[in-house]
Amino acid sequence: MMTAVLIAILLATLAAAAAAMSLRNLIHSVLLLIGSWLGVAAFYLMAGAEFVAFAQLLVYVGAVSMVVLFAVLLTRRSRTDIAVSPDSVSRAWSAVFAAGAVLAVLVYGVLHSALPHSPPPRPSVTVGQLGALLTGPHSAALLVIGVVLTVAMLGGVVIASTDRPSAKEDEK
Amino acid sequence: MSGGTLQLCLLFSSALFCVGLAGALSRSNSILVLLGIELMLNAANLNFIAFWRFSPQPAPATGAIFVIFSIAVAAAEAAVGLALVISIYRQQKNIRLQEATRLKG
């Protein structure tokens, strides 16, 4: 029963991702990807990583999707310009070929490696334990990731807000 | 969940990674390329959680903590990437990757 639900979630996630990567309409792509991220969050929930599932919901389904939608809306030229111009067919086929080759290697590796066959008891990690780990043994990493996020956000603001009128004159 | 579930999860995350790879390689819209990269990152996170759940653990919650940090880095990457996309659009009125050939503003 659990495995059937798991397979259904995984297949829905994969189908949403594949459809998002092949559609013409950018908005549809982003909405399908939000569905795919939701499927990944459901998988985390089933695997017993509740905190990670909610982090995935907050960061991907909540924040990244909104940032991507804003980027789509800010970079279109007219009200109807959300369709992506068609890419070259040879490029698409070579990309599919490359990805298929990588997939074949990965599948071969997974099928021919000795994986543990009797799963250990379901690990239970409470949010309190995670907090103690993050502020105890992993506190240096937490500080570093805080600095990385701050610098990235400041850099994003600077990159997106700087407007150089001289650049436009150069082009003319 | 039975013993073959780890294999199932690994196969699925490989497939998700390759969907992201195909998307990132084949599309020329830079927003879609960024989304393909996000999909690949998600597949990697899925592997962390699958190994954490289905393998004997040397330390508790290692996989979950790794994924939390990975999600934070992915969020930073998405923010900077989309800021770059908006900046390129300002300069060139276009977000096709083939036309973004100049580094000078």
Choose the mutation target among A11, A13, A139, A144 for the interface with B, i.e. most B CBs under 10 Å.
A13
- Domain holding B86, by residue range, is 5-99
Distance CA A26, CA A72 (A): 7
pLDDT digits (tens, 9 = 90+) for A87-111: 778 888 888 999 999 999 999 998 8
Specify the number of domains making up chain B. Answer: 1
- Pick from B25, B86, B87: CB nearest A98: B25
* pLDDT exceeds 60 at position A41: yes
- Pick from B1, B46, B63: CB nearest A2: B1
Q: What is the value of ipTM here, to two decimals? A: 0.88
Backbone angles phi, psi at B59, to 5 degrees: -140, 145
User: Which CATH number is A1-81 given?
Assistant: 1.20.120.1200
* pLDDT exceeds 50 at position B41: yes
B45, part of any domain = yes
Note whether B35 and A60 are within 8 A (CB): no
* pLDDT exceeds 80 at position A59: yes
- A123 closest CA partner among A133, A114, A138: A133
- Pick from B1, B4, B15: CB nearest A103: B15
What is the pLDDT confidence band of residue A77, given thresholds at 50, 70 and 90?
confident
| Predicted local distance difference test score (pLDDT) of residue A86 | 64
- What share of chain B in percent tops pLDDT 70? 92
Looking at beta carbons, which residues of chain A come within 8 Å of B84?
A: 159
pLDDT digits (tens, 9 = 90+) for B52-95: 888 776 677 888 889 999 999 999 999 999 998 888 888 877 77
3-state SS, residue A75? coil
pLDDT digits (tens, 9 = 90+) for A141-170: 999 999 999 999 999 999 888 776 555 555
CA distance B101 to chain A (A): 14
| Predicted local distance difference test score (pLDDT) of residue A24 | 82
What is the pLDDT confidence band of residue B105, given thresholds at 50, 70 and 90?
low
What is the pLDDT confidence band of residue A82, given thresholds at 50, 70 and 90?
low
B65/A138 CB distance under 8 A:
yes
Choose the mutation target among B35, B71, B92, B103 for the interface with A, i.e. most A CBs under 10 Å.
B35
Distance CA A39, CA A26 (A): 20
A41 vs A1, which has greater pLDDT? A41
B104, part of any domain = no
- Pick from A71, A119, A141: CB nearest B85: A71
A59/B71 CB distance under 8 A:
yes
Distance CA A170, CA B3 (A): 63
Which CATH number characterizes residue B93's domain? 1.10.287.3510
B36, part of any domain = yes
B55, part of any domain = yes
